[in-house]
Amino acid sequence: MRLSIKELLYGALLTALALLIPLAFQGWLQVVIPPFSATLASHLPTMLAMTISPWTAALVGIGSSLGFLLTLGPVVALRASIHILFGVVGAYLYAKEQSLWKALLLTLPIHALGETLVVLPFGFTFSQALWIIGVGTALHHLADGAITAAVFHSLTKAGVSLELAGKRPVNHL
């Protein structure tokens, strides 16, 4: 499957935002309790990309991983690479007539468990990783999901549609 020009354009814009958030907000709007870190709204680009296409969500997830590699190092970048997985799954769920909130809630376990598992090779027990990374990621996912839903709703009210031509109607929060 090839990316359309619109998918590529939206993907590039959201990828730029995914890179900008960790770079611009480094130390600001960021909570770091190693190995956990949370940057407010860092999931927004990936979550918005889910409303466009799986390819767009993957592209934005890669950009997010790169942004965190440059600011917080390889462990956080590896955790951020889970954005690729939950973004693609969320895009498929959203495309199957799911609401955005339902897709976000269904991808929460993938996101939290994925980030829990990727830190295990770095010396954390499963219990430590689950409580520090898993629970923290789940709470962060919910907070960023609320921000994403508000932004998506605002874009929709303003007449901006991230969805591609021929897809279902826009009003699915």
What CATH number does the domain containing 108 carry? 1.10.1760.20
User: What pLDDT shows up at residue 144?
Assistant: 97
Is 167 inside a domain boundary?
Answer: no
Is residue 36 within 8 A of residue 80, CB to CB? The reply is no
pLDDT band with cut points at 50, 70 and 90 for residue 171 = very low
Is residue 91 within 8 A of residue 56, CB to CB? The reply is yes
pLDDT exceeds cutoff 80 at 2 = no
pLDDT digits (tens, 9 = 90+) for 61-114: 999 999 889 888 898 899 999 999 999 999 999 999 779 999 999 999 999 999
CA atoms of 172 and 111, how far apart (whole Å)? 22
SS3 167: coil
Please state the length of the chain: 173
User: What pLDDT shows up at residue 164?
Assistant: 65
User: What pLDDT shows up at residue 169?
Assistant: 46
Is 118 inside a domain boundary?
Answer: yes
Q: What mean pLDDT is reported for the chain?
A: 89
What pTM does this model have?
Answer: 0.90
Is 169 inside a domain boundary?
Answer: no
pLDDT exceeds cutoff 80 at 173 = no
pLDDT band with cut points at 50, 70 and 90 for residue 167 = low
Domain count, the chain: 1
Is 56 inside a domain boundary?
Answer: yes
Range of the domain at 87: 5-157
89-98, 119-128, 163-172, range with the lowest pLDDT? 163-172
**Six-digit token string for 152:** 């998506």
Is 139 inside a domain boundary?
Answer: yes
23-37, 53-67, 107-121, 150-164, range with the lowest pLDDT? 23-37
Look at residues 77, 79, 55, 58 and name the one whose alpha carbon lies nearest to residue 66.
Answer: 77
